[in-house]
Structure 1
Amino acid sequence: MTTTAGEPGVRANPTEARELVERGIAAARGGQRRVAAGLLARALKLDPRDERAWLWLSEVVDDPEQRAFCLHAVLRINPHNPHAHRGLAYLARQGTTTARQIADLTAPTAESTPLTTPTEQAPASPNRDWWLQWRWQRYETSRVRVVLWLLPIVLLTVALLLHQSVRAAREQALAALAAEQEQTFAITNDPVLPLATPTPVPELEAEPLAVVESLTVSYLTAIDTIRAELRKATDTYRQETGQPGGASINHVAATQRLRAAVAQALADLGELRVPGVLTPAHEDYRRGLELELAGLDAILEFYSTYDVANANRAALRLQEARAFIERAQASFQNQSQILGERSIVSAYTIR
């Protein structure tokens, strides 16, 4: 970087000036006159003795007086430039001979000396160092702009990394919970110790035997329909949550659908007319469904808080529910066998 002799204290940057000149010429050839004028003016601020910049600037300015000013600047640098002579002659024929200076640009003087090295320049006074200060402010502004552009990118990268870490931890917790649920819902041959309750003693029915048996058949048929719907909903839930690495939102949705199915089964169970002989089994089945609802609620709370206590509570409730439901199912099966052995009229025979 050097200092122009005509303007002491103003630092010239020929390399940057040449780049701006090339860009300005390209813009002028592409028909972008205003862009070209701005680039060439900036280049001349860096190197006011650039002959090509003054010549091309005369082609893109609209004011004839400013065009004459640029051509005179060319002749001060190179008095034998034919393009500048022809341009001034043309302007003279048009009646425009006054050269009006372009704002912030000063034509080089004829007495301007070649560029000097930094060791030859005189110390610049504070009043003459304005150009260096302006350039330095532009440089600092560019650095701040770059930092402001990079800061959101860095923050976004950090957020993505944190999201991936949280997601990996959540998937591991869901995989562990899915394995525990699979063990809870799996049908095993291990005997389940039912809760100790007194053996129910069938009460005498006031209705005739045929009416009681018909009521029992209707109840068992309705119970089979409810159990079939629950088995279907449970199998769907196992398929949706049994794959490791599934998204937590999918597990929550599957749990909510299974809970809705259990709640519907409990509501349908409350509408049935229960024969006296199956009242204990009916209560066991109802209690089992209520415990299963409590277990599913605990699973949903676990997905919201990821508290292990909710997972343990869900496993305990589901285990208790299975004990009640299996005891009720055994009673239903026993009663169906009794009705089948009696071989009553086909209208009341268990299909």
Structure 2
Amino acid sequence: MTTTAGEPGVRANPTEARDLVERGIAAARGGQRRVAAGLLARALKLDPRDERAWLWLSGVVDDPAQRAFCLQAVLRINPNNPHARRGLAYLERQGTTTARPIADLAPPAAAPEPAADAAPAPPPTPTAQTRDWWIQWRWQRRETSRVRIVLWVLPIVLLAVALILHQSVSVARERALAALAAEQEPAFTVETVLATPLATPTPIPALEAEPLAVVESLTVSYLTAIDAIRADLRTATAAYRQETSQPGGASINHVAATQRLRATVAQALANLGELRAPGVLLPAHEDYRQGLELELAGLDAILNFYSTYDVANANRAALRFQEARAFIERAQAGFQAQRQLLGEMSLMSAYTIR
């Protein structure tokens, strides 16, 4: 490094300054005028007599007075520079006659007149030229390596994100299909999710205040209506399973199938609310109602999962389905026990409706 003439406090670093000039020129050609101005200004602080840096800086500054200052600096270094002369002439025609310095940049000292008997300056040594070429080559190689790494890593990251989303959808669908395969009711189960312990079922009362014939009639009517509701749910569940188990199915088809199953469960819940449950079946009736409500909550969570792909919605759906299965299985046990009781009573009572 050498000290610049006229600026004793600034040390010239031609190698680093040349690197900054090249980067500034590249930024100017790419349309990044502010970036180019900053790089060229830094280069001129290291080497104020860089003719190219002053010339390119005049092309990226916005103020005409600062542009004139840069062109005058070029002429101080090389009075015969044609580009600087044409640029100053153009600015004078535009009415710009004064030059305004750029902050932190001082004009370079004028080129000294060569003495008549002075020997010409020796050309740069091959060692310095080789070193500059080596630095430039290493910088270009480093930038190329960075671009290559980005081009390799970006597709891998995108592929990993796509695989994670696909796996999340597949896991949620497989959980639903596994539960549908095990049960004919629209209840889902997941082994890895622990449900909150449920309360002990309410004992079924053994006696009714109404006459036995009336109780049997109400019970038979209620169980017949329940069988119709359950048959509709089984049909809807089978259709849902067939639509969502097709290989390569689109998510929009799964969403439509889930919405149809939800509509069937909601209708079943509404039909259940219109039934009058006998006293002996009130606990099973309430369990079945809560199970259908949990089914609706689970299906809503599945729809939210398809819209956001948030795994928390899939876990929430699995938990609701497991709780729903517990209530529905307990209700089925109550219905089955009452059917057996009616079968035994029909053998002993002449008042049983046949």
Alignment TM-score, normalising by the size of structure 2: 0.48
Flag the structure with larger Rg.
1
